Amino acid sequence: MSDEPQPHEPEGDEPEPSPFEEIVGEATDRDPDLAVIEAGSRTLRAQAGPQPDVVPTRPEDPEVDAALRAVEDELATRWGETKLEPSVKRISALMDVLGEPQRTYPSIHITGTNGKTTTARMIEALLGAFDLRVGRYSSPHVQSITERLSIDGAPVPAEKFVEIYEDVKPYVEMVDGQQEYRLSFFEVLTGMAYASFADAPVDIAVVEVGMGGSWDATNVIDGNVAVITPISLDHTDRLGDTPEQIAVEKSGIIKPDATVVLAQQPVEAASVVLKKAVEVDATVAREGMEFGVVSRELAVGGQQLTLRGLGGEYDNIFLPIHGAHMAHNAAVALAAVEAFFGIGQQQARTLDIDVVREAFASVTSPGRLEVVRTSPTVVLDAAHNPAGARATAEAVSEAFGFSRLVGVVAPSKDKDVRGLLEAFEPVFAEVVVSRHQTHRAMDVDELAALAVEVFGEDRVQVEPLLDSAIEEAITLAEEEGEYAGAGVLVTGSVFTVGEARLLLGGKR
């Protein structure tokens, strides 16, 4: 990487940094994505609050449920999302036999380390508010695989999901027979998404990468707008162990003549992205220069924002999600939609402010500082890397002001667990360590030993079952007469959030 630009290190009487150097000098952490948890249908022995009606549960019709389970079982025989062969040759072959459905609509392509799904949901809400039919493809999912394919602002019904699978299955089997390796779980789902969006048809697709960018299965589209949320260290075994190396992979979604909406980044990551944009003659809009957050204030149930878009300012925007990182996600989403409409280049105007306000006020983001129970308050957040954990710790302190916060942490073994725990240590009075129900879960004894090193023995409790861990955390939060001001944060893994949602009132 010796030919890549290096971080600027001022010394002596060097001139003041340029606006570019100032804007890329600081990263803004974002929260991470959600994932499925194939958990049992236990019920937590505590009264849970109402579940938001944004995550589908198992189909009530037994025949539909059986059909969906059959599809899930067939997909489970394929390579999972953690087993990859860095190539787009198989998905390209599938697109070819399907008639290149991904070429029939424009798209906004989203990559980054944290914040992708929330940003995608915001973009979807904005485009839908402007009367466009939107297809959104996101991963992973919270409780149902059908969440990954969204049309008209809602996950496709289970019956439709099964129908889409059956439609593409013969083509998938054809490609399987021609390739060295069968199509993976994620590649099949990507083919289903692109085919269903063409069939709908949608006016635009909002597509989130699965991992990386260059060789991600989603990268057979030519995104008119490429969105890059903040880059930090995650999946280092596959993407590289520096922000610069990871940025090389993620900048692979930038296509010739596209517009790149670039969130604040570490300088080395931003340099890589900007170099790629120059190579393919793409236009770049940078957070903090062409767009950004002008101001934010706490509000009941969220925050009040003033955003600067590519065409001007948008004030009095209510965002019903907590956290400074969410405000930055909103700025990125707004700029992406403006770029799609040509604002900032062909047009110098703002979008209809009333429509923008209505869209942001409607945004939901399950599992991101999501309150699922009160008295005491139980909050779910899917932070699973240190950058996401730092953003969550800051946001939960700002938004809730708990007098006593007890953490339930159940991470995956392939993550930077020490960094995760260290990020939460300043805000947790005590921590209950546990595990989620997947093969990727970290061993509880190993986790406990690490937690003791970070928190000290007196602040750590161990409960291998997540339902027992949540109950224990609730009990700890209620101690010492702090019932009204105490809270519980369940975090550490996307799988953990999915399971906790089921335990706290969801259905499976």
Domain holding 445: CATH number? 3.90.190.20
Whether residues 99 and 222 share a domain: the answer is: yes
Nearest Cα to Cα of residue 117 among 408, 325, 339, 415: 325
Question: For residue 10, what are its two tokens?
Answer: 């001022």
Domain holding 212: CATH number? 3.40.1190.10
Q: What is the pLDDT of residue 484?
A: 59
Whether residues 345 and 393 share a domain: the answer is: no
Whether residues 230 and 326 share a domain: the answer is: yes
What CA–CA distances, in Å, run from 332 to 119, 245, 312? 7, 23, 14
**426-483, pLDDT tens digit by residue?**
999 999 999 998 888 999 999 999 999 999 999 999 999 999 999 999 999 988 554 4
Whether residues 326 and 459 share a domain: the answer is: no
**372-405, pLDDT tens digit by residue?**
988 889 999 988 889 889 999 999 999 998 999 9
Q: Is residue 30, in this structure, part of any structural domain at all?
A: no
Number of domains observed in the structure of the chain: 2
Whether residues 114 and 254 share a domain: the answer is: yes
Whether residues 315 and 383 share a domain: the answer is: no
Q: How far apart are CA 76 and CA 189, in angstroms?
A: 12
Q: How far apart are CA 107 and CA 131, in angstroms?
A: 16
Strands 204-208 and 107-111: parallel
* Domain encompassing residue 402: 370-503
Dihedral, CA atoms, 177, 178, 180, 182, nearest 10 degrees?
-50
**194-244, pLDDT tens digit by residue?**
999 999 999 999 999 998 899 999 999 999 999 999 987 655 455 556 888
Establish how many alpha carbons lie within 13 A of residue 383's alpha carbon, considering only the half-sphere containing its beta carbon. Answer: 36
Question: For residue 82, what are its two tokens?
Answer: 């953690």
Q: Is residue 10, in this structure, part of any structural domain at all?
A: no
Q: Is residue 125, in this structure, part of any structural domain at all?
A: yes
Q: Is residue 425, in this structure, part of any structural domain at all?
A: yes
The average confidence (pLDDT) of the chain is: 86
**287-310, pLDDT tens digit by residue?**
999 999 999 999 998 999 999 999
Q: How far apart are CA 206 and CA 204, in angstroms?
A: 7
Whether residues 351 and 436 share a domain: the answer is: no
Q: Is residue 396, in this structure, part of any structural domain at all?
A: yes
